[in-house]
Every structure is written in structure tokens, then in C-alpha cells.
Amino acid sequence: MSFVIFDLDGVLVDSEQVWDESRKDVVAQHGGEWTDSATTDMLGMSSKEWPVYLIEKLGVPLSVEQINEAVVDAMLREYREHLPLLPGAREAVARMADAFTLGLASSSNRPIIDVVLQEMGVTERFKATVSSEEVARGKPAPDVYQEALRRIGADTATAIEDSDAGIRSAHAAGLYVIAIPNPHFPPSDEALALADVRLPDLDALTPDVIR
């Protein structure tokens, strides 16, 4: 049985804008100052890393725990009202789950992963899910993919990724990487060169591509 590990943000949910707005609100509410580079700087950062960025770079006078809680609460409210699924996300998970054992490796916080999969109705499709808050380093380090492999009981797998940091993370963990580039924040040419396959969208993701 082959193994497939999905990323979450930018692969299954069109979430970067929701993250952006939630973080901007927290920065504004607490007297910090948003910068032009903040959005791209935080792409792929783990939930241990981006709150530190808000404190050190954007001047938010809260603890890491307080920032995490405020942003995650805002994200969960938004997701429960409207989950911004990418076209074909549910169907792609179903197709892959019928053919392979699935895992998930995400930079999102654990509560967000759980709510997204629950709202999608696909929780049971995944053998294991990993948040980068559960490992030492976030993407582009390989830790979250290495832990996902361990939890699903695999030596290697195919990763479905959209971002610069995600592609680098999966490649560093020795996975076969399928890139579906995020149109809002496209990965660099250098990162794309590390991918084994590039697809235009989730509809193109079929078991045959992986086999």
C-alpha cells in the first residue's frame, strides 16, 4: 500500500488570506504595526514561530500563547461560518483515500487541522495528522513530514504541496513531491525545481499520477 501525505493550507483550503486577516486584526488591536513583507515572511512558519515574529518584528505586546489563542480563535470562527475549500479538495481526498493510506502534515495549529477536516467530512480518511507545533521545527525543515511518516508507518510517501517552504520540507524529508503551486503566493523556481511533478490543480491529482 502506498502512502500520500497532504499539506493543508493552500492545498485543501484557500486559507492564507484568512490567516492574514486574523493576524492583522490581532496586530491592530494591540498597537503593533503591520509591514509590507509580513505576509510572505510568515508563509510556512509554524505556530511556534509566527507569534514570535508578531512580537519581535511587528511589536505586539503579548505572549506567544496569547497571540496563538487570539489568532486561532479568529480562524476557527471564520472556518465554522465559511470554510474556504479549494475546488476539488473533498473529491481529491476521497480519490486518494480509496487508493492509498493518507497522512497530513501542516503548519496550522492542531485545533485548526481538526476543524477543517471535520467540516470537510474527511477526518476518518486520514490515518494520522501532524501539526508543526508538535515537532521541533516548522517547514522548510523536514520535521513535520518525518513525524507524519512515523505516524502512518511509512518509510517514504508522496507529498502534495503548494508553497516554497512546503516543497522544501517534503523534499528534505525524502518524499516524492507533487507541487500544485499556490496562485496567490507561488513558490520560487528553485523550490519548484525540487518537485517531482507539477500539476495545475487538484482535479489533476489522480492515483495514476502517483503510481
User: 169 and 119, same structural domain?
Assistant: yes
Residue 195 above 80 pLDDT?
A: yes
Tell me the CATH number at 74: 1.10.150
Q: So what's the pLDDT on residue 76?
A: 96
Q: What is the mean pLDDT of residues 175-204?
A: 96
Structural domains counted in the chain: 2
Is residue 9 part of the annotated active site? The answer reads yes
| Residue 190 cell numbers, joined | 528553485
Tell me the CATH number at 10: 3.40.50.1000
Q: What is the pLDDT of residues 50-78, one digit of tens each?
A: 999 999 999 999 999 999 999 999 999 99
Q: So what's the pLDDT on residue 47?
A: 87
Residue after which a domain boundary falls, among 81, 106, 128:
81
Q: So what's the pLDDT on residue 16?
A: 87
Percent of the chain with pLDDT over 90: 93
The range of the structural domain enclosing residue 96 comes to 3-14+84-210
* Sheet order of strands, 126-131 included: 126-131, 101-106, 3-6, 158-161, 176-179, 197-198
Is residue 143 part of the annotated active site? The answer reads no
User: 168 and 65, same structural domain?
Assistant: no
pTM of the predicted model as reported, rounded to 2 decimal places: 0.95
Q: So what's the pLDDT on residue 1?
A: 56
Question: Cα(75)–Cα(67) distance, rounded to whole angstroms?
Answer: 12
User: 112 and 30, same structural domain?
Assistant: no
Catalytic residue among 9, 143, 162, 164: 9
